Amino acid sequence: MPTPHNSAPQDAFAKTVLLPGDPLRAKFIADNFLSDVKQVNDVRNMLAYTGYYQGKKVSVMGSGMGIPSIAIYCTELYQHYGVENIIRIGSCGAYQKHLKLYDVILAQGACTDSNFAHQFLPNGGTYSALADFSLLKAAYDYALKQKIKVQVGNILSSDIFYNANPSAWKQWQALGVLAVEMEAYALFSTAAKYQKKALAILTVSDSLVSKEETTAIERERNFKQMVEIALNIA
């Protein structure tokens, strides 16, 4: 049975799904890294594919941008499609001076300025959204083995890209938060809700500190490192 946002049959997804923000990235991964690929969703052009990587069945799907969008897709994947592991691969803006463009970050945890997890806490409280340790360790070990430099730490999943207060990010910088993106908190807390596993692998695409930005071509090259880590731990 399909869901309101996904026309795939119930057995269409592998146990592990890679989730880039951009559905065309999902297509790129399917076209360039997977064999025996089937497209399983095209509702709203949120393309999803299932294929094989080194004999392992893997799926890849776009998440869209922001907490509401990723929350819809990861909830349906966990709850309806029996998916066990979701690995977000995305870009982020650096909050710390030592982070350079293209550095790879493994998000150990995610802070947020969103109320998303309040739905799980009717009695109040603040949920600390963490990556699954087994996925985090596997990604870290693989990166170490392949000599891919990675940084492990806390990130911010923000609801706001264009903030009316241009220095609002500095409060997160002061707490040692490495970088900002817009999805991981929803993924990690939804994984917790359904007792499933999640990880986010991010590449620095811009720096709030140095104001540097990457080009689209360079982003694509670096994107492959994250895909390689994600596919090898899938």
* Interface with ligand HPA (CB under 6 A): 91-93, 158, 161, 180-182, 205-206
Q: Closest approach of Cβ 194 to ligand HPA, in Å?
A: 25
Q: Closest approach of Cβ 171 to ligand HPA, in Å?
A: 15
**Residue whose beta carbon is closest to ligand HPA:** 93
Of 233, 220, 234, 229, the residue nearest 31 (C-alpha)? 220
Of 173, 191, 83, the residue nearest 136 (C-alpha)? 191
206 in active site: yes
206 vs 218, beta carbon nearer ligand HPA: 206
26 vs 155, beta carbon nearer ligand HPA: 155
Q: Closest approach of Cβ 207 to ligand HPA, in Å?
A: 9
Q: Which tokens go with 216? A: 């689209």
38 vs 97, beta carbon nearer ligand HPA: 97
Residue whose structure tokens are 């293209």: 102
189 vs 214, beta carbon nearer ligand HPA: 214
Q: Closest approach of Cβ 228 to ligand HPA, in Å?
A: 20
Catalytic residue chosen out of the listed positions 22, 113, 159, 206:
206
Of 69, 163, 179, 159, the residue nearest 114 (C-alpha)? 159
Q: Which tokens go with 136? A: 């985090």
20 vs 93, beta carbon nearer ligand HPA: 93
Q: Which tokens go with 36? A: 């025996």
Indicate the pairing of strand 150-157 with strand 179-181. Answer: parallel
Q: What's the rounded Cα separation, in Å, for the pair 162 and 140?
A: 32
Q: How many residues does the chain have?
A: 234
Count of alpha carbons within 13 angstroms of residue 143, beta-carbon side: 22
Q: How far is CA 173 from the centre of its chain?
A: 21
Q: Closest approach of Cβ 192 to ligand HPA, in Å?
A: 22
Residues involved in catalysis: 206
